[in-house]
């Protein structure tokens, strides 16, 4: 099993660990210490070595941070985790803080009204994060000061840093050589008058060099740093034991492998201006450049946009991955519907689904821990079942199953909400509203230049009309055998990046009633040029190609709530499911598919 069900949250240990941290803080004259869920590469997922937030507080979510002061400790979490955090931290010692509604700077200013020194590890925070907090703390008497990591000082059995092997990613799947990619980015550097760019994001490093790694579970990422020069040459800072002879041959003469400890001295020796992505690079990079008086400029990592806009080869590859994954999902759903009501648990669902993906003989990993939440667990957006929380599926309940696979040719992410027995009228009503929002995005045609924020509301409109909403974005970017959550493309009310052809996104509106149930429906989609209808203006329009083909449960739909175009979409979608997935299924699953995709 790729997924474990061991309880990783240990809230009962938090108070003693917080006391030990405060002793170190006081000894060094600090009023506080900041503990993010982050590593030096700012990835969403971190290795056990970097699970400082979880170790200290018990909180296991994929985003958040703690501000530990001498008299209080705030755990900052966004809307996805406001239910989860309450059951994972010792509320007597840690106070959940709704972020971004309450930001770090104002919270510190209120908590430290007499001023103070707040320490942070400069490897774990970005310049943008520190600058934002410092601006909010002007005239407060509070200073943010870089220091060694104080949690590491009290963590006696901290795991070692990851040392996973690095492998070559096939050029026929990538669609472009790494020499071509480096040349493109170097040309941009020259046009901007910049001598080099620091690369700290593992997925950017993997994309640029056509490599993959194994340092982070469920994400094929190699940890390392790089400096790309305006000549196209690159210095790669990575432990030598990660780099096989075959990989060194793949990298070629224009890439110089260097030990990790050479990274900071290399920063000192650079000629400026050096491009640094202040949204993702460690603050340590900027501090070292400043110490050496090396000129630098803030600018987005040049890998991000070309990585997000997939090549024709990448899109073709991920289509195949999604068909393979869709067939595994249909086999699972066939099994699920055949089980007696009340006979299954959440863990049964997770283990069986992974088994069907493994049966493809192509699964390299799951793309994240499968979310299988029934009843009130469905309202916990990023719920992870454990042996302790495992719940049986009861008649009349729903179960949210959000899962995905990592294949050499693609990364998948799909959510289906399923009924257990006979669903209630309320559940069917809410499900249909969510479905209407999902269909609206799927059918959307929009002008070139629109960003995710411009279309996010379209998915929410059916819920808004009922006075409801959901506390997450409508869609996140997705890589190709890379991260299941990829930036910078998103469909959310804060995303200002114009959507472009080749960008893969999720389409996943939902509805969550705390303590009762949750609903989410998710397909992956890719931005494409849209054929203009008769009478269209002379302007470039985009639309979405759907990548995910797995039936949407008809038992949860109230057809009378759907308009003609919505019914047409669902019937067409299910017809494509039959055509593309049906030939890949067992006889039993094909029979199930025919019934699951009957017209409405």
Q: Residue ranges per domain, the chain?
A: 11-154, 167-307, 309-596
Cα separation, 74 vs 71, whole angstroms: 10
What pLDDT sits at residue 213? 98
Taking residue 259's Cβ as centre, other Cβ atoms within 10 Å add up to 10
CA dihedral 246, 250, 251, 254 (to 10 degrees): 120
111-116 long-range contacts, CB within 8 A, separation 24+? 111/67, 111/69, 111/71, 111/72, 111/74, 112/31, 112/32, 112/69, 112/140, 112/141, 112/142, 114/141, 115/140, 115/141, 115/142, 116/30, 116/31, 116/32, 116/69, 116/141, 116/142, 116/143
What are the pLDDT digits (tens) for 194-248?
Answer: 999 999 999 999 999 999 999 999 999 999 999 999 999 999 999 999 999 999 9
Secondary structure of residue 69 in the 3-state scheme = strand
Place of tokens 């869920």: 37
pLDDT at residue 83, rounded to an integer: 86
Half-sphere exposure of 565 (CA within 13 A, CB side): 8
Indicate the length of the chain as a whole number.
600
The pair of structure tokens assigned to 529 is 């040029």
Q: Is the dihedral of CA 351, 49, 85, 15 positive or negative?
A: positive
Q: Which CATH number applies to 309-596: 3.90.870.10, 3.40.640.10, 3.40.50.620, 3.90.230.10?
A: 3.90.230.10
Q: Rounded to an integer, what is the distance from CA 550 to the centroid of its chain?
A: 22
Calpha distance 519→511 (Å, rounded)? 5
User: Which is it for strands 255-258 and 234-237: parallel, antiparallel or unpaired?
Assistant: parallel
Q: Judging by beta carbons within 10 Å of its beta carbon (0-12, 13-18, 19+), is residue 495 exposed, middle or buried?
A: buried
Give me the residue label for tokens 């993997």.
206
Class of domain 11-154: alpha beta
**126 secondary structure, DSSP code:** -
11-154 matches 309-596 in fold: no
Please give the CATH number for the structural domain made up of 167-307: 3.40.350.10
- Helix, strand, or coil here: 446? strand
- The token duo for 278 is 């202040």
Q: In what order do the strands lie in the sheet with 523-529?
A: 446-447, 541-546, 523-529, 504-507, 475-477, 486-491
Low-confidence residues of the chain: pLDDT under 50: none
Sheet holding 365-366, edge to edge: 365-366, 405-407, 410-411
Burial 448-479 (b: 16+ CB within 10 A, else e): eeebbbbbbebbbebbeeeeeebebbbbbbbb
What is residue 536's predicted lDDT score, i.e. its pLDDT? 86
Helix (H/G/I), strand (E/B), else coil: 58: coil
CB 509, CB 474: distance < 8 Å: yes
Q: CA 263 to CA 259: how far, in whole Å?
A: 8
What confidence score (pLDDT) does residue 534 get? 85
DSSP 8-state secondary structure symbol assigned to residue 490: E
End-to-end, the C-alpha distance of the chain in Å comes to: 38
What pTM value is reported for the model? 0.95
Look up residue 28 and give its two tokens: 């060094």
Helix (H) or strand (E) holding 322: helix 312-338
Of 583, 501, 509, give the one whose Cα is nearest residue 549: 583
- Strand duo 446-447 + 541-546: pairing: antiparallel
DSSP state of 396: T
Contact indicator for 553, 432 with CB cutoff of 8 Å: no
């Amino acid at each position: 099993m790729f997924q474990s069900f061991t309880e990783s949250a240990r809230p009962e240990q938090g108070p003693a660990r917080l006391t030990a941290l405060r002793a170190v803080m006081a000894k060094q004259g600090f009023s506080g210490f900041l503990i993010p869920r982050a590593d030096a590469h700012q990835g969403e997922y971190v290795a056990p070595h970097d699970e400082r937030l979880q170790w200290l507080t018990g909180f296991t979510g994929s985003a958040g941070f703690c501000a530990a002061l001498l008299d209080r400790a705030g755990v900052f979490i966004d809307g996805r985790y406001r239910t989860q955090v309450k059951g994972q931290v010792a509320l007597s010692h840690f106070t959940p803080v709704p972020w971004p509604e309450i930001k770090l700077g104002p919270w510190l200013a209120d908590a430290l009204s007499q001023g103070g020194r707040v320490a942070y590890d400069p490897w774990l925070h970005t310049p943008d994060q520190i600058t934002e907090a410092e601006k909010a703390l002007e005239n407060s008497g509070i200073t943010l000061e870089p220091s060694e990591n104080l949690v590491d000082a009290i963590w006696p059995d901290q795991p070692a840093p990851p040392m996973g092997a690095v492998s070559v990613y096939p050029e026929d799947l990538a669609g472009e050589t790494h020499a071509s990619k480096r040349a493109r980015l170097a040309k941009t550097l020259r046009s901007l008058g910049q001598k080099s760019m620091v690369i700290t994001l593992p997925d950017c490093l993997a994309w640029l060099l056509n490599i993959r790694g194994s340092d982070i579970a469920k994400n094929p990422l190699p940890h390392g740093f790089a400096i790309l020069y305006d000549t196209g040459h690159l210095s790669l800072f990575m432990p030598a034991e990660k780099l096989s002879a075959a990989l060194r041959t793949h990298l070629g003469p224009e890439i110089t492998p260097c030990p990790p400890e050479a990274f900071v001295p290399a920063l000192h020796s650079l000629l400026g201006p050096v491009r640094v992505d202040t949204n993702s690079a460690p603050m340590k990079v900027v501090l070292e450049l400043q110490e050496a008086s090396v000129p630098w400029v803030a600018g987005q990592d040049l890998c991000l946009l070309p990585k997000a806009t997939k090549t024709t080869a990448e899109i073709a590859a991920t289509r195949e991955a999604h068909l393979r994954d869709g067939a595994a999902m249909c086999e699972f759903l066939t099994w699920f519907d055949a089980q007696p009501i009340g006979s299954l648990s959440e863990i049964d669902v997770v283990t069986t689904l992974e088994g069907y993906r493994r049966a493809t003989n192509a699964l390299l990993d799951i793309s994240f821990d499968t979310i299988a939440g029934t009843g009130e667990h469905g309202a916990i957006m990023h719920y992870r079942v454990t042996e302790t929380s495992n719940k049986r599926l009861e008649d009349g309940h729903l179960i949210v199953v959000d899962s995905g696979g990592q294949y050499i040719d693609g990364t998948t992410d799909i959510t289906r909400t399923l009924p257990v027995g006979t669903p209630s009228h309320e559940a069917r009503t809410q499900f249909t509203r969510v479905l209407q929002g999902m269909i609206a995005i799927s059918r959307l045609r929009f002008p070139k230049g629109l960003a995710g924020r411009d279309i996010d509301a379209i998915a929410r409109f059916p819920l808004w009309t009922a006075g409801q909403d959901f506390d997450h974005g409508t869609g996140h970017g997705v890589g190709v055998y890379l991260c299941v959550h990829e930036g910078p493309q998103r469909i959310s009310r804060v995303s200002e990046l114009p959507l472009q052809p080749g960008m893969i996104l999720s389409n996943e509106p939902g509805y969550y009633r705390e303590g009762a149930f949750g609903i989410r429906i998710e397909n992956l989609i890719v931005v494409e040029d849209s054929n203009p209808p008769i009478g269209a203006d002379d302007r470039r329009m985009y639309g979405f190609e759907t990548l995910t083909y797995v039936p949407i449960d008809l038992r949860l739909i109230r057809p009378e709530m759907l308009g003609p175009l919505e019914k047409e979409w669902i019937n067409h979608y299910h017809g494509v499911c039959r055509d593309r997935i049906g030939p890949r299924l067992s006889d039993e699953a094909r029979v199930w598919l025919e019934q699951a995709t009957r017209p409405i």
